[in-house]
Amino acid sequence: MSKLKKMPKFKSEKEETEFWATHDSTEYIDYSKARRVMFPNLKPSTRTISIRLPESLYEHLKVLANKRDVPYQSLLKMFLAEKVEDELHAVK
């Protein structure tokens, strides 16, 4: 591998973002020496949304959540995540 370029210093996150949008990181980083890291306490960004559900679906969701002893919104997120994952894998 050729000699790597020196990593620039950035004054802001915006400046760094703009730099990496226009430069090839392989010229600055030797990925053969990379190792996997875990961020166990990192929480994904969330967005609040509003959704209209039929009253019966909402009530059924609350009953199921109560049986599992979890908040109904958490159960809804679990159901959504599972279905989205299934659909994404079905596309392949």
In a domain, 26, yes or no: yes
Mean pLDDT score of the chain: 92
In a domain, 52, yes or no: yes
In a domain, 54, yes or no: yes
In a domain, 1, yes or no: no
The total domain count for the chain is: 1
- What is the percentage of the chain residues whose pLDDT exceeds 90? 74
To the question of pTM greater than 0.75 for the whole model, the response is no
- Nearest CA to 27 out of 7, 54, 51 is that of 7
In a domain, 8, yes or no: no
Asked whether the beta carbons of 43 and 37 are under 8 A apart, the reply is no
How far apart, in whole angstroms, are the C-alpha atoms of residue 79 and residue 11? 42
Sorting pLDDT into bands at 50, 70 and 90, what band is 92? low
How far apart, in whole angstroms, are the C-alpha atoms of residue 87 and residue 81? 10
In a domain, 5, yes or no: no
What's the domain range around 50? 13-91
